[in-house]
Chains A and B, each alone.
Chain A
Amino acid sequence: MAMMSPNGGHIAIVGASESSRIGVVPDMSMIQLHADAARLALEDAGLTPADVDGIATAETQVIEVAAMLGIRPRWMDGTTIGGCSFLAHVRHAAAAIATGQADVVLITHGESGRSWVGMPNYSMNPRGPDGQFEQPFGAITPYSLFTLPALAFLEARGMSQRDLAEVVVAQREWAIPNERAQRRSAVTVDEVLAGPRVAYPFTRDMCCVVTDGGGALVLVSAERARDLPSRDRAVYLLGSGEACESVLVSQMDDLTSFGSFRRASAEAFATAGVGHADIDHAMFYDAFAHLPLYMLEDTGFVSFGESGGFFADGHTRPGGRLPVNTQGGGMSYSHSGMYGMFAIQESMRQLRGEAVVQVPGIETSFVQGVGGLFWSAASLILSNRQP
């Protein structure tokens, strides 16, 4: 088999599904959420577990997912770099298919983040870098750790807590009509600011929801995709990138601009061979309200200091010039702990014309993920047209 590029539209995502239910699902375990989503994604592709020869997942053992579904893979990837792991899996799977190491790759996610059914116990390691240099100071939970650089970001730009609230308000607009979204009531900036205090400058609605849920993707070569019943709904990988920095937030190269966002997205654009003006839709992994602000600037959609105004002026809302987080995002839709799979799923629905709040006539979608608490990043550029 001739070697091909993993980017440039040679690899297609032909199956995509979230678990049948998301939100509060106390009657399904973590592994069941993986399997439920996997079976739906394979059905969506017109394939069965017997067709799968490659498998990838994060946190959970690949072996456990394979065994659950009766799959005997010849290619495996357990890369765990936080919630953007699934974006990295798409990139890695594309490389495996392009080089003939796998023909049909299944990527799964499942997490009982809210009900904690079938999940491992959470334990701290007092001997790790975080256990010695973060946790003793109370920087343990995402809301007390991921949030730490936000004031430095805002102050460097003359922005304020209101700019965080504007992100919430803009994204909530997409969630209101979406029955699968967790937070669906319209809010104002003042209401967001007056909400329950979590960690100044963050109030409750500036923090993601905590949910149960899963999702899965099926990837094949674009050539193979043409023979599948799902061929008219295939989505192609144009470009991808990944990057990491440190497991300690304090060791970010720059508190006010995340280098991993810059490097991963730059590689995605370079490998895709498209520019920002070609992007019709974006998913910015939003565990907290400052992340879309960092991402909008660090991925080059706007210049330094323009992110707050971009959200406040409505450019990311329905009808805006760059629709962002169109199912409501992690702060309104669903966030099981590792949100990356949900971001990809919404890009798939938008590119297939199947979203609850559909952006009309779109061809390309950009997905920016983050892993851990400013640990890592991964980026994808997807299209419903093969170049």
Chain B
Amino acid sequence: MSIGPIPEPTPETLAFWQGTAAGELRIQRCRACENFYFYPRPFCPKCNSDEVEWQPVSGKAQLASYIINYRPYEDFQTEEPQIIALVTLAEGPRMCTNIVGVAPDPDQLPLGLALQVAFEPRGEQFLPVFKPARS
């Protein structure tokens, strides 16, 4: 189990965290404008419709931007560099995450790198992290 801050679900985000615990990345899609969106909200931020549904998505993503954090926050009780990234899901939305299973080396982390979601236990929750996809 990884060490660090533990997210506490709220009513509008509960389905997301239930999904990660079940090994699924679930995000919301608007039935009116057919767009996926993140972070969880009970109505569509694009067209304001409340006809929204939860859907499991592919877990495929691309590396959009990142930093290699050499000064991890004290709660993590580590001095190992962290790869903190913004990834763009195949379905469109962007999210903040960690890249795992690769050295914290810019040469290994070209933007656009193909990624696949994995789930990491943190307290009673499971965090969606991403690792390089097998080609």
Contacts and interface: CB of A to CB of B under 8 A. Distances in A.
Interface of A: 124, 126-127, 129, 131-141, 143-144, 147-152, 155, 197-202, 248-251, 255
Given A144-B73, A144-B84, A151 B65 contact: yes
Contacts of B66: 148, 151
Given A152-B64, A155-B111, 8 more contacts: A126-B6, A132-B17, A136-B7, A144-B67, A148-B65, A199-B71, A199-B84, A248-B39
B68 A199 contact: yes
A249 B13 contact: no
Contacts of A133: 7, 39, 95-96
Contact of A148 (B5, B67, B71, B73): B67
Contacts of B86: 148-149, 152, 249-250, 255
A124 B7 CA distance: 10
Interface string B101-113: 0001010000100
Given A129-B39, A131-B5, A138-B76, A152 B65 contact: yes
Contacts of B122: 136
Interface in B66-83: 66-73, 75-76, 82
Nearest to B17: A132
Contacts of A136: 4-7, 122, 125, 127
B: contact size bracket:
35 or more
14 contacts: A126-B8, A132-B17, A133-B95, A135-B7, A136-B6, A137-B82, A138-B73, A138-B84, A147-B67, A148-B65, A149-B65, A199-B71, A201-B106, A251-B39
Nearest to B82: A138
Contacts of B5: 124, 126, 131, 135-136, 140
A132 B12 CA distance: 12
B95 A198 contact: no
Interface in B1-59: 4-10, 13, 17, 38-39
B71 A198 contact: yes
B96 to A, nearest CB: 4
B94 A250 contact: yes
Determine the main DSSP class of A at the interface with B.
mixed
Nearest to B97: A137
Nearest to B111: A155
A129 B16 CA distance: 13
B70 A198 contact: yes
Contacts of B73: 138, 140-141, 144
A199 B39 contact: no
A127 B94 CA distance: 20
A137 B67 contact: no
B112 to A, nearest CB: 9
Contacts of B7: 126, 131-133, 135-136
B15 to A, nearest CB: 13
A200 B70 contact: yes
A134 B96 contact: yes
Contacts of B64: 152, 255
Best-surrounded residue of A127, A143, A151, A152 (most CB of chain B within 10 A): A151
A150 B39 contact: no
Nearest to B72: A138
A129 B39 CA distance: 8
B116 interface: no
A201 B69 CA distance: 9
A137 B84 contact: yes
Contact of B106 (A132, A144, A148, A200): A200
B111 A199 contact: no
